[in-house]
Structure 1
């Protein structure tokens, strides 16, 4: 399957207004050719509207959209060289898997023979070459979603669009199919724009994540950058669980800040920080509890929940209640136990004022 058609996507000051409501006020972004970029955010943040604008299912109120260097702002969906994978699979129930994958090719005027060959290649790509004769009702949810992916890929679009593609699958299938999608994207090198509200899903599949809030970009960057260096409380809390604590920046040394948290000092990335009061994002799995010795904060166990592969604690401290994830599972601390709380520096991130 060709990978030469991967296109760059550019939004230049795009706005989308509906009657009495602005979904996207002024959006500029770039998706580099051959990358998978995820639009992430809560319901109503504008991510699905942005995807529909790219697909040609909505048209912008202002601004321009480019695919592969071509201005597609006013082109209809069928002239944009994109293909879309929907949340609902949208398979024809009376057609076999092979016929579903062939359908778009035949609609585009390709001969029966070539459409059949390309459809079989598409099924092979997603590991379903032996299920071509089966109806959608005879396939699992994960298999149906892979059929939908194959149907889109055989069109060899410049950009593949995926709208919450895993939301109808159970957790185990979501992990499997998201791995399949990421492997395919890296192997074939196509451009993909992926929409989800699930931060774990975004972290797993993306070259870049664009987090949206009220139709604007709140932060964008590599998954690790957004997780380790959130630029706001919103990003810290949305990109996984985070405790937000008051702290004091005592001094700066190059790109590092010396931060006081309770009774301890920690060195954390501090680019752009200034001395004085600040806020710190603390990931729950980077907090340790001790029943002896000294830590940064004294604490008291309020709640302890055993979840098989980890224990979740709520601990009362002078800086507020902390949510803590213990993956070591060495022992389960009793309720009301007095503890000392300490922090691993790699789980700390200063939040810009």
Structure 2
């Protein structure tokens, strides 16, 4: 890509379908050269947001800007964006090179120049030797890279990716998401990426925008959302968490002393005030100790061996805790009494 990447701005965008409000009042910014993921459960509004950015839907009110230009009511073919679809949308009768060149030729570029750009596009995604192959002769990951190359050669200000890995198996998803992220960082294009997969969002994003019921629930870097969730919904949606009752005993600068079932712990205060509150505790932040240890008591109610870790559920007076323990060499049987402690990381005060 040689064109400068563009920014994306939504200003108080609202979208309704009859009496149904899909997007309530959306304002967001995507900085040039960054990859921002719209993440959320089905029906949260992320796909509608992407379709409005692509020009496939128009907002009921508000403004959308790409590279500082108001494109709110422009049709899709007049916006400087390219889209990678969930289904890849490759022409089955065309080889990879012809698929990548198609959009260039359709825009009026000479066939020779379009071919040269297409060859460069395939080289960018590591498929320089596969231009002669039909889509059916490629793996799912290779087909996805052809679709990315086809979008990139158009040199859009913004690349849109709609659930781009949903058709791949788990192992291939991990590899292709790494390739997409490395490509984006190397070429520094602006990308808006839609997914419902939390791990995928954490792995590829500069910023994640979590949506719920047509609104932004929280936005920030992957680390910010994982380590400092703003609500029980975010805590459980990004990486799973146990939400437990606590009492904030003391605030000292950036830290707060909290107690859970009599166990005292120091955590970032995050604006908390003394009194009752809630903690998000990641499953791998829980320590299982012998029952006689100085922590609060529990009892193992479920255990599942998963190779490199064991998943436990432990019943406590405050409810059931989900625990991920890497100590596979000392498994605990169902019914074993334990004492439960917390590590220093993976715990955060959250709002109700």
Output the TM-score relative to the length of structure 1.
0.98
Offset, 1:293: 4.0
Q: Give 1:216's aligned residue.
A: 215
Q: Give 1:243's aligned residue.
A: 242
Q: Secondary structure at the match of 1:45?
A: coil
The CA distance in 1 between the partners of 2:102 and 2:294, in whole Å, is 64
Contact residue 23 and residue 214 of structure 2 kept, 8 A: yes
Offset, 1:200: 0.4
Q: Secondary structure at the match of 2:16?
A: strand
Q: Give 2:289's aligned residue.
A: 290
Q: Secondary structure at the match of 1:345?
A: coil
Q: Give 1:204's aligned residue.
A: 203
Q: Give 1:188's aligned residue.
A: 187
Q: Give 2:276's aligned residue.
A: 277
Q: Give 2:303's aligned residue.
A: 304
The CA distance in 1 between the partners of 2:350 and 2:288, in whole Å, is 24
The CA distance in 2 between the partners of 1:154 and 1:56, in whole Å, is 20
Contact residue 270 and residue 349 of structure 2 kept, 8 A: no
Q: Secondary structure at the match of 1:237?
A: helix
The CA distance in 2 between the partners of 1:172 and 1:80, in whole Å, is 35
Q: Give 2:98's aligned residue.
A: 99
The CA distance in 2 between the partners of 1:342 and 1:266, in whole Å, is 9
Offset, 1:279: 0.5
Q: Secondary structure at the match of 2:278?
A: strand
Aligned residues: 352
Offset, 1:292: 4.8
Contact residue 98 and residue 119 of structure 1 kept, 8 A: yes
Offset, 1:45: 0.1
Q: Give per-residue Cα distances to partners, 1:168-188, cap 9 Å, x unaligned.
A: 000011001100100010000
Q: Give per-residue Cα distances to partners, 1:297-324, cap 9 Å, x unaligned.
A: 1111111000111100011111111100
The CA distance in 2 between the partners of 1:327 and 1:334, in whole Å, is 15
1:97-136 residue pairs with structure 2 within 5 A?
97-136=96-135
Q: Give per-residue Cα distances to partners, 1:19-46, cap 9 Å, x unaligned.
A: 1211001100000000000000000000
1:232 corresponds to 2:231: yes
1:138 corresponds to 2:137: yes
Q: Secondary structure at the match of 2:133?
A: coil
Q: Give per-residue Cα distances to partners, 1:264-298, cap 9 Å, x unaligned.
A: 21111112101000010000011111125424311
1:71 corresponds to 2:83: no
Distance 1:295 1:162, change over 3 A: farther
Offset, 1:109: 0.6
The CA distance in 2 between the partners of 1:47 and 1:320, in whole Å, is 33
The CA distance in 2 between the partners of 1:44 and 1:271, in whole Å, is 30
CA RMSD of aligned residues (A): 0.9
Structure 1 segments of 4+ aligned residues over 2 angstroms from their partners: none
Q: Give per-residue Cα distances to partners, 1:312-342, cap 9 Å, x unaligned.
A: 0011111111100012323111111111111
Q: Secondary structure at the match of 1:177?
A: helix
Contact residue 15 and residue 63 of structure 1 kept, 8 A: yes
Contact residue 101 and residue 147 of structure 1 kept, 8 A: yes
Q: Secondary structure at the match of 1:333?
A: coil
